[in-house]
């Protein structure tokens, strides 16, 4: 490794943090293309050929990009999981792959509560109604009747997944005076003390007024809420999903919303994105939707920039970065 390693940054990156890195690294910072395409096809081929470290977010450090980066010694994915990096290819070359876990946990928890409040208090529908000029002197109390919602205080929130986002949603729920149940088979029953009870999935479904989805997308969580499970949800409850669409079976959810078994839903993620024109969800007034903006925040860029910078400095000192997707490159046992 040279005294001033060459680093290629294609992720959205905080300018102040980048400037601080220039003291010890030779940086090439490119404007993010925000396209899922190989780094070898972005016009960065010259920088990639000289790079000893790459920091990327949406662009792919795939087999083609690795072949174009003979000097590469470190890869940093500004994602919780390195879905944009050929992990096997990096491991085969002994290249550590650092990640930025929980970089967007706070803002995703914020959006979860935005959807929760908007759905239970009908705020999106009420705003659209107001902007449409529907509030008239003929019946000034019409919105009071039309958009009555539920208070959160004293109600029960069921949290699927007690990881980084789930824990932050729990904190927000407690601040609103809600009771909380958490389903997470990987946590001890006393994980949250008096803040929340760890329960089985069936108990949570039958007791929660609102259910939020924060489980990782694993083989065991795909379709976790299918027709059978949704049928066990207490009638009149709400479902909020700013996590992974595939955790919930689409047709089962649509049917529960049509019949009123679910009173409503708030969704930031969908089974097909962009959501196709004519999708039934567009015709459902009891559904609040946002276009997958859970992590859309300048604060996320600042957080993952700090984490990436920490990984670069740790690596430069010859130490192991904190969050590695392939730790066997340091410990082949």
Give the CATH number of domain 6-103+298-329; options: 3.40.50.720, 3.60.21.10, 1.20.120.420, 3.40.50.300. 3.40.50.720
Quick check: 21 and 7 in contact, CB under 8 A?
yes
CA distance 254 to 284: 9
Please state the domain extents for the chain. Answer: 6-103+298-329, 105-289
- Going through 23-108 in order, the beta strands assigned E by DSSP cover 26-29, 53-56, 74-77, 97-98
Beta-bridge mates of residue 159: 182, 212
Q: What is the pLDDT of residue 44?
A: 87
Q: What is the pLDDT of residue 333?
A: 43
Q: What is the pLDDT of residue 32?
A: 84
Query: In 301-313, which positions are buried (b, 16+ CB within 10 angstroms) versus exposed (e)?
Result: bbbbbebbbbbbe
* Residues carrying an active site annotation: 244, 273, 292
What's the first-to-final CA gap in the chain, in angstroms? 24
Its pTM stands at 0.90
Token couple for 29: 């910072």
Q: What is the pLDDT of residue 43?
A: 85
CA distance 19 to 313: 14
In this chain, the answer to whether the domains covering 6-103+298-329 and 105-289 adopt an identical fold is: yes
Q: What is the pLDDT of residue 102?
A: 94
Quick check: 39 and 61 in contact, CB under 8 A?
yes
Task: Please report, for residues 118, 181, 271, the alpha-carbon distance to residue 185 in angstroms, rounded to integers and kept in the order given.
Answer: 30, 13, 25
Give the CATH number of domain 105-289; options: 3.40.50.2020, 3.40.50.720, 3.40.50.300, 3.40.710.10. 3.40.50.720
Nearest to 306 by CA among 81, 97, 21, 80: 21
Taking every pair of Cα atoms in the chain, the longest distance, rounded to a whole number of angstroms, is 77
- Going through the chain in order, the beta strands assigned E by DSSP cover 6-9, 26-29, 53-56, 74-77, 97-98, 156-160, 179-183, 197-198, 210-213, 237-241, 262-267, 287-289
Q: What is the pLDDT of residue 277?
A: 95
Classify 240 as helix, strand or coil.
strand
Mind giving me the DSSP string for 6-36? EEEE-S---HHHHHHHTTTSEEEE-----S-
pLDDT in tens, the chain (333 residues): 568 999 999 999 999 999 999 999 999 999 887 778 999 998 889 999 999 999 999 999 999 999 999 999 999 999 999 999 999 999 999 999 999 999 999 999 999 999 999 999 999 999 999 999 999 999 999 999 999 999 999 999 999 999 999 999 999 999 999 999 999 999 999 999 999 999 999 999 999 999 999 999 899 999 999 999 999 999 999 999 999 999 999 999 999 999 999 999 999 999 999 999 999 999 999 999 999 999 999 999 999 999 999 999 999 999 999 999 999 998 654
Which positions ≥6 away from 255 have C-beta within 8 Å? 227, 261
Query: In 138-167, which positions are buried (b, 16+ CB within 10 angstroms) versus exposed (e)?
Result: eeeeebeeeeeebebeebbbbbbbbbbbbb
Q: What is the pLDDT of residue 210?
A: 98
Task: Please report, for residues 53, 78, 101, 142, 277, the alpha-carbon distance to residue 164 in angstroms, rounded to integers and kept in the order given.
Answer: 27, 16, 9, 41, 33
What's the number of CA atoms in the CB half-sphere (13 Å) around residue 227?
Answer: 3
> The dihedral of CA 107, 108, 111, 112: what is its sign?
negative
Q: What is the pLDDT of residue 112?
A: 98
């Amino acid at each position: 490794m040279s005294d001033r390693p060459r680093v290629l940054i294609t992720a959205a990156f905080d300018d102040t943090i980048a400037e601080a890195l220039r003291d010890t690294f030779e940086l090439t910072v490119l404007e993010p293309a925000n396209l899922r395409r190989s780094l070898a096809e972005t016009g960065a081929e010259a920088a990639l050929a000289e790079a000893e470290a790459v920091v990327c977010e949406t662009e792919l450090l795939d087999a083609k990009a690795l072949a174009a980066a003979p000097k590469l010694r470190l890869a940093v994915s500004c994602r919780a999981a390195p879905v944009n990096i050929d992990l096997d290819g990096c491991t085969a070359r002994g290249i550590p792959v650092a990640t930025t876990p929980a970089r967007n946990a706070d803002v995703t928890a914020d959006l979860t509560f935005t959807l929760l409040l908007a759905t239970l208090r009908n705020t999106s529908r009420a705003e659209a109604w107001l902007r449409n000029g529907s509030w008239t002197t003929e019946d000034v109390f019409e919105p009071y009747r039309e958009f009555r919602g539920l208070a959160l205080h004293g109600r029960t929130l069921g949290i699927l997944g007690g990881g980084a986002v789930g824990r932050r949603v729990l904190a927000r729920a407690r601040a609103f005076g809600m009771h909380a149940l958490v389903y997470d088979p990987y946590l001890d029953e006393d994980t949250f003390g008096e803040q929340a009870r760890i329960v089985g999935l069936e108990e949570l479904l039958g007791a929660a007024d609102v259910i939020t989805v924060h489980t990782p997308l694993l083989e065991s969580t795909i379709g976790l809420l299918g027709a059978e499970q949704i049928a066990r949800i207490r009638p009149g409850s709400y479902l909020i999903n700013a996590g992974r669409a595939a955790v919930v079976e689409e047709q089962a959810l649509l049917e529960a919303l049509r019949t009123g078994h679910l009173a409503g839903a708030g969704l930031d993620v969908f089974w097909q994105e962009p959501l196709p024109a004519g999708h039934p969800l567009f015709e459902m007034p009891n559904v609040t939707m946002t276009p997958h903006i859970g992590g859309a925040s300048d604060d996320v860029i600042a957080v993952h920039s700090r984490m990436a910078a920490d990984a670069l400095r740790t690596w430069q000192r010859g130490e192991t970065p904190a969050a590695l997707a392939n730790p066997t490159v340091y410990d082949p046992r």
